[in-house]
Structures are given as C-alpha cells and as structure tokens.
Structure 1
C-alpha cells in the first residue's frame, strides 16, 4: 500500500481525480416546521429560501464541527453534535463538468439548540419558520428536494441530484 505522500498531483491527474466540495446543512426543526433563510447578495440563488445554516467544510475541519460552527455563525445558536440527526448525504453536480462542480452535501436535522435563532450575517435578508407542507415558492432546488422528501417520508440515506 502506498503512503499518502506517494499520491502526488501528477499521480492524481493521471488517474482522473476530481475535487469534491463537502458542505454541512443544518435544518432546525420545530415540530413539522423548518427554519429557512432567504439568500441575499451572494450570487447564488439570491431571493431563494435555504436551510437556516449551511456552509462548506473548511480544510482540517470535520463535517460535524462545520455543522455546529455554521449554525453558530449564521443563526447565533449553539447545537451539540449529539443533537444532529443525519437526514441524507447528497452527491450532486450542476453538470458543468468543472472539478469544483462535484458536491457532497450532508443534511442534518436538529430539534435542540441554545439561544434564539436570528440572522447573524448579511448574506440573508429574512429568517422564518415554515411548515413542511407549506414551503415557500422559491427554495434552492437541491434543498427543496430534501425538504419535500422529509415531508413525504421518502428521504433515502444517500441521494443524488443533477446527474
């Protein structure tokens, strides 16, 4: 077996490696309601509703650490790792063929937190609770697919989107 240092960029390039961008999504739940934020001034689905907290995993950070960090940064609330319930792992693409377009999103639900959720950053213009059977008209498409599957009780442990 080769050591990690044996896998050079040249080796990776010769063997078709591509980048996978991991992200953690935290959907705060209050009974049958979910907390969503309206994206604003990000350049990505501005005006659409999205998970209350979500973001990329930083280098050297675990997925679970990213989930708790993003929830604190975006909503000002603390969550414990033990309270995160994995909803699904989504492998998705926008279909551009660009290496950066390969995504691995892990969606968590959380029904316990400390503090009162409030917008903490200027990348969202609104924050509201929505019943799963009364979601807003414009939700980021891959997130809508997860929320609808949660509502319909059809969510699989692993999902694909955009392929």
Structure 2
C-alpha cells in the first residue's frame, strides 16, 4: 500500500503513534443482467473482498474521497447518492508498527461510467457481483451493503450501527 506523502510526513514526527484518519467506503451499485450488482475490490494486503475504501486527503470532503478512490482503485466514475453510516472503527496496527483509527463514512453510490479494473497496487482484483451471490464480507460491509440496497432509512452513526 502506498502511504500518502502527508501521512509519511506525520509519521516522521510521531513515529508509530495512533493516527486518527477520516475515510470513506463506496458501495457502488448498478443494474446487471440478473438484477442489482455491487462493485467489490480484492485487497492486495489481506485478500479480502471489500467495497472501494480510502482515506481523505487533507481538506477533502468524504463524498469526494469516495469518488476519487473509485476512480483510482477501480477505474470507474460514480455518483455519490447518499450517506449510509458514520463509524469510528477499532484501532489497527500494521506490520510495520504504525497504528491508525479510521472514521469511516459509508456511501451508497451509483456507477456512471468506466470499465471496472484494477487501478492501483491496493487491490489485485475488481469485480461486479450480483447481490445474491457475494463473496465473504466482513459483517460491517454486509450491514452497510444491506443499507445501500434498502429504502433510504436514516443514516446510522457509530452507536446505532453497533446496536443492530
């Protein structure tokens, strides 16, 4: 995974101490031959299927992050339709000792254009999946995808999301 220059500069000052990082997850939907499909990427670091995810650049709005990351990671143009959830994820430690905690903004998005393909080193596969034939996903992603496919209920914030 490439580290953004501003994160590398922070790491020079604070070492491996915990960084609070705003980010976005994009649940990109389209209508396929057999119904609704979702675009997922297979992460290069752990081989898990996930929606497109990424961290916000300094001053960047989370919905803009979702659109930028979709272009960078999966080579698709999207329209961000609505916010699904805002969640403070658990702190994580990387193999090099760096620690981060992410504030994730999950969005329902609509595919607009582009042939989905691997766009950077963060993933090694990009695929459209019929929503009734998904690979194994983390529970958070399953819950948020259900929200993206739902009727547009309320945005879930951290505590409410954990209660469901």
TM over 0.5: yes
In structure 1, the partner of 2:82 is 86
Q: TM-score, normalised by structure 1?
A: 0.67
Partner Cα distance (2:157, 2:61) in 1: 21
In structure 2, the partner of 1:34 is 38
- Provide runs of 4+ in structure 1 moved above 6 Å: none
Unaligned runs of 5+ residues in structure 2 are 1-17, 93-98
Cα distance change on mapping 1:22 and 1:40 into 2, 3 Å? same
Cα distance change on mapping 1:150 and 1:78 into 2, 3 Å? closer
In structure 2, the partner of 1:77 is 76
Match for 2:146 among 145, 148, 153?
Answer: 148
Cα distance change on mapping 1:28 and 1:152 into 2, 3 Å? closer
Q: TM-score, normalised by structure 2?
A: 0.67
In structure 2, the partner of 1:157 is 155
Tell me which structure has the larger Cα radius of gyration. 1
Partner Cα distance (1:62, 1:151) in 2: 23
In structure 2, the partner of 1:24 is 24
RMSD: 2.8
Q: How many pairs are equivalent? A: 134
